[in-house]
Structure 1
């Protein structure tokens, strides 16, 4: 892709130099996730009410898998988080968050989530990046941002490690959880930004007002992994290995969100 012809940096090495990402299986990891979300969603942006325990949680956390991004050097400062909302084990038909938010705008001729095998679908949500790592013009009122400027120019390309790694991490988690289709409420231009990376996002309904204008969209997990452009593959390998380490040494069978 011409836009990245001058991007000579190995994105895997670059990511590993500055960041590390993991699945938050234990109570301590999930507590860090909920603390980041409270800082961003409650204290900074006012999307949710401030809570006395300074932890932002909801009903979906107990059947979600969470990922946590930190700096790679001591003291491993918290950077951001994301989650994958799975079907409820005891009630698979229970709606995912977007199924409620977009009930009136989904184009069910494209896909009807209610008719899909519930164990094979999941939703990406609650992506949050701490203010220290997103303090640029126009980002103050957004939980995370991705813009053309994040990719630099043809002469001086650069790369948005933070939001991209958080999305790749939930893809890696989805693969391990047997999820085939990911749903996400995206900013209108996210599909354009992701197309640079080889990720195809398909719009599945009209826009809704949800902390700004959002578009309901879907992504194919195998398609994402197989379609990544060559310069993305080293970063995918590093993120995938780091997530895999958690599944190997962690406790993936621990009830998700049990710290709530």
Structure 2
């Protein structure tokens, strides 16, 4: 399956697209996993880090449904969130902090994952509701869940290359670690595990590891798009 044939990745650069991003998170982290509180209205999952973050969303070209989300937290407060949760033995490189981000809120909606043959989704999620018949063509595609994750990684890596960001930090599960390193991305554990909605581990990965990976030759050639430009005749790349 060629990711570029079926999906677009958008930089959520206006209020409408950020609302989509927050709603995807609400479906996964509030309704499905119960990690965050279910709100009385709005169906949006947000926190204080969002105002210091860059947001991405993935759209299925055939159905028009948004199926995945991820954010990059910028060190605008002088530190990254994982520094507040874990004891780091080989921690955030302070001299290069301004060229670092933390990857956060990586999620794919259940309607997509239930049609994937991945035995264990990296977030450990389960099934939810039905999906439009137009995506039946994806039923027999292996690793759909992973493909969407790689699509978001690709978009975020292009954004980081454009903005001279050198390091990605993660606070995540061993399952996601195994999925990422299976594709020959090297991740270095930089501290002890901590409890945050389950056991999480802190990792660092250098941008060179991401940009040079040959996985991008397998249908991940398109650039991300600005959501604010989606209704224009010609979709242009973000400046």
How does the TM-score come out when normalised to structure 2?
A: 0.78
Work out the number of aligned pairs and report it: 215
1:235 counterpart = 2:214: no
1:73 equivalent in structure 2? 62
2:107/2:123 contact within 8 Å kept = no
Task: State the Cα distance separating 1:222 from its structure 2 match.
Answer: 2.1
Alignment of 1:29-108 (within 5 A): 29-51=17-39, 52-74=41-63, 76-88=64-76, 91=77, 93=78, 95-102=79-86, 105-107=87-89
The match for 1:132 is 111
2:185 corresponds in structure 1 to: 199
Answer with 135-144 or 176-185: which moved more: 135-144
Q: Which runs of 5+ in 1 are unaligned?
A: 1-10, 145-156, 253-260
Q: Deviations over 1:187-234 (max 9, x none)?
A: 2143443233231111111211222221100010123212x13x5324
Query: For the aligned residues, what is the CA RMSD?
Result: 2.9
**Preserved CA contact (<8 Å) 2:123 2:175:** no
Q: What stretches of structure 2 of length at least 5 have no aligned partner? A: 127-140, 230-234
Distance 1:127 1:141, change over 3 A: closer
Summarize the alignment of residues 73-222 of structure 1 with structure 2, pairs less than 5 Å apart.
Answer: 73-74=62-63, 76-88=64-76, 91=77, 93=78, 95-102=79-86, 105-107=87-89, 110-113=90-93, 115-135=94-114, 142=124, 158-159=142-143, 160-222=146-208
1:94-123 deviation per Cα after TM superposition (whole angstroms, max 9, x unaligned): x32111111xx211xx3344x233321110
Higher relative contact order (CA 8 A, sep 6+): 1
Alignment correspondent of 1:25: 13
